[in-house]
């Protein structure tokens, strides 16, 4: 297994360098000048040229890219043009914020997709099955940004039961122990803060998770139907085993590999979807930071954030592959 992990890590290197190459040159094709954005519309041409020189933007693209790669090899993502702070520091601050939302959305996916998908498979061609499949089609068709806006209008505007955005209310204490508010409030025993944090994350997590749950439901159903039709399941039922034992002990375990594959892929895709949801709900994570970098033409920040997302996506794929051996001992890695 260690040889396999080493091979995958080596394969990550050209992929990450390819990401840096693409994002670097695509960013420089976009209209706009970071120096002009920083100085404002009243800046003179001379001031703009001085700022470009200070930022190194007056150098050829290959020279700028070479400096970026040189910093990257030293573990330095550079300094944000807008915030004048190291990009690694900014990402470190925002990382718990985005991961907390992603984890909450993944819990929504698991809680919805597993029970509904299994129930649809067990009750195949029933009214429940047809309703579940119709709901999954509707869930796939709904855009995250539209669902988020509708949720804000209903629960924050019309009903007033949930906050419209942000991560925590202004009157709630922030401890900053781990950066994960749920964990911080549990460690401090601050249940008021925990409830407030839950209210703030509920709508973004549901918005992000519902669309991906619709896809997962169909995968769980298809995987379970395939396993339930196999001979050893028929044998287990003929022995008089309880239906719950047949479904959850014998069938579900053998159906988990394709389910884990899809959930792992969706976890990587969630990192892309979180950018939209964070923007809609003013969630102060890496997604919002990335949007700020794009609008302000902060090339250094955008390059670092995209590279960070790419690294997470590749790491999640590796962990997904490694989990197969835990589910099926017959799988060996070389």
Please report the pLDDT score of residue 283 as a whole number: 87
What predicted TM-score, i.e. pTM, was given to this entire model?
A: 0.83
For 127-149, b/e burial (b = at least 16 CB within 10 A) is: eebeebbebbeebeeeebeebbe
pLDDT tens for the chain, residues 1 to 334: 667 677 777 777 888 888 888 888 887 777 777 777 777 777 777 877 887 787 777 778 788 888 888 888 888 888 888 888 888 889 888 888 888 998 898 889 889 888 888 888 888 888 988 888 888 888 878 888 888 899 999 998 888 888 988 888 888 888 878 888 898 899 888 899 999 999 999 999 998 888 888 888 888 888 888 888 888 888 888 887 787 888 887 788 778 777 787 777 777 777 777 888 888 898 888 888 888 888 878 888 888 888 888 888 888 877 777 777 666 666 666 6
CB atoms near residue 302 (< 10 Å):
25
Single out the residue of 22, 49, 19 nearest to residue 34, CA to CA: 49
Please report the pLDDT score of residue 332 as a whole number: 65
Please report the pLDDT score of residue 331 as a whole number: 64
Q: From residue 2, how far is each of 5, 10, 322 by CA, in Å?
A: 5, 12, 11
The neighbouring-strand residues paired with 79 are 86
Report angle CA 230, 231, 233 to the nearest 5 degrees: 75
Burial class (CB in 10 A: 0-12, 13-18, 19+), 109: buried
Q: 79 φ, ψ to 5°?
A: -110, 130
Q: Which tokens belong to 183?
A: 């964990």
The neighbouring-strand residues paired with 86 are 79
Burial class (CB in 10 A: 0-12, 13-18, 19+), 284: middle
* Structural domains of the chain, with CATH: 94-284+323-327 (1.10.3720.10)
Please report the pLDDT score of residue 271 as a whole number: 72
3-state secondary structure of 7: helix
3-state secondary structure of 309: helix
Q: What is the DSSP letter of 223?
A: H
Please report the pLDDT score of residue 300 as a whole number: 83
What number of CA atoms fall less than 13 Å from residue 140's CA on the CB side?
Answer: 13
Q: What is the 3-state secondary structure (H, E, C) of 36-84?
A: HHHHCCCCCHHHHHHHHHHHCCCCCHHHHHHHHHHHHHCCCCCECCCCC
């Amino acid at each position: 297994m260690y040889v396999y992990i080493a091979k995958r890590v080596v394969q990550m290197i050209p992929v990450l360098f390819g990401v840096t190459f693409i994002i670097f040159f695509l960013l420089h094709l976009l209209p706009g000048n970071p120096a002009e954005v920083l100085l404002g519309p009243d800046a003179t041409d001379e001031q703009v040229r001085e700022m470009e020189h200070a930022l190194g933007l007056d150098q050829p693209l290959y020279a700028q890219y070479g400096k970026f790669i040189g910093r990257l090899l030293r573990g330095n993502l550079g300094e944000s043009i807008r915030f004048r702070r190291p990009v690694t520091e900014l990402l470190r601050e925002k990382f718990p914020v985005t991961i907390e939302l992603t984890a909450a959305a993944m819990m929504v996916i698991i809680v919805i997709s597993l029970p509904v998908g299994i129930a649809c498979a067990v009750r195949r061609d029933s009214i429940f099955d047809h309703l579940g499949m119709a709901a999954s089609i509707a869930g796939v068709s709904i855009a995250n940004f539209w669902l988020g806006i509708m949720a804000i209008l209903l629960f924050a505007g019309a009903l007033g039961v949930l906050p419209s955005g942000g991560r925590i209310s202004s009157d709630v204490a922030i401890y900053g122990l781990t950066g994960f508010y749920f964990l911080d409030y549990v460690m401090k025993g601050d249940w008021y803060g925990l409830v407030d944090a839950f209210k703030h994350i509920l709508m973004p997590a549901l918005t992000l998770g519902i669309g991906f749950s619709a896809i997962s439901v169909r995968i769980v159903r298809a995987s379970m139907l395939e396993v339930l039709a196999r001979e050893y399941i028929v044998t287990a039922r003929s022995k008089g085993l309880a239906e719950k034992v047949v479904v959850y002990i014998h069938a579900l375990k053998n159906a988990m590999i394709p389910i884990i594959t899809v959930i792992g892929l969706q976890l990587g895709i969630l990192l892309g979807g979180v950018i939209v949801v964070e923007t809609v709900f003013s969630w102060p994570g890496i997604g919002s930071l990335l949007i700020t970098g794009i609008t302000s033409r902060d090339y250094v920040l955008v390059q670092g954030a995209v590279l960070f997302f790419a690294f997470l996506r590749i790491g999640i794929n590796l962990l997904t592959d490694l989990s197969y051996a835990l589910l099926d001992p017959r799988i060996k890695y070389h």
